[in-house]
Amino acid sequence: MISPAVAYQKNMKERPDMRKDAYKYFFEKYFKDPFVDKGFLDTIERIKGKSIRQFIPGKVYTFRYDPVYKDLLDYYDKRPIILCCGEWIAESTGNRIVTGINFNFLPEIARVNTLEYYYRSVKGDLDQAYKITSETDHVSFIKRALIVLQDIVQSFNIFNKTGQIGYQFAMRNYIVGEHMSQNVIVEYDDWEWIPFVQTKDVVGKPLGQIYKEYLLERKALAKKQPPILKAEEKRKYNNRRG
């Protein structure tokens, strides 16, 4: 699988056109009717993924979403595109929750860096998963993603200490159920489009304002240390996240 940073550099000359076309591409393939085979050049991992009820850590997903508490939010996204970090059950409500980094809340370079540092941290497993999917179209799993994305210290070290991303800005929880629909896996070969998607589905604030807030908070978030958890607290945290 090609590195996200290498793919981004490869696409630099076409960047204006990709910015213009990315949302339309995602709309036609993933938003409009994602479970229809689009042709012989298409893979069907996303179609087979429909039968898997649980979200897979390390996959990129998109879905329709209508937040339960949207009246309390400054802004929200009706069509998130997330790097899935895990799934858990909320103790207070019993709701099934999926947690992920929503790329739509990050500016272009931050999206590339998030994908790149994730890729570097799981490269061997991700390359193997990509190979399996390319050869068989089966839904593949990225074993190391369970460590990288569900361990809070690992995530901080990769995305903040090394990447200086401030990824917490875009980390969100989504309730799985009647408020979520059409959740679909974004195929590996389409990850190169993710930095260029200019969403039309964020409500409450213009994207420019959200990106400005991110840039103001990024350095402080990147320096913020992960909470020190006792053994029992860490066990509970990891169980909740996974």
In the chain, domain spans: 4-241
| Cα distances (angstroms) measured from residue 15 to each of 187, 197, 209 | 20, 11, 22
Of the two residues 33 and 20, the one the predictor is more confident about is: 20
Q: Are 242 and 150 in contact (CB under 8 A)?
A: yes
pLDDT surpassing 80 at residue 226: no
pLDDT surpassing 70 at residue 240: no
224 three-class SS: coil
Strand partners, 230: none
230 three-class SS: coil
- Other CB atoms within 10 A of residue 27 CB: 14
**What is the average pLDDT across 60-86?**
96
Note the pLDDT tens digit of each residue in 113-128.
Answer: 999 999 999 999 999 9
Tokens for 113?
């860096």
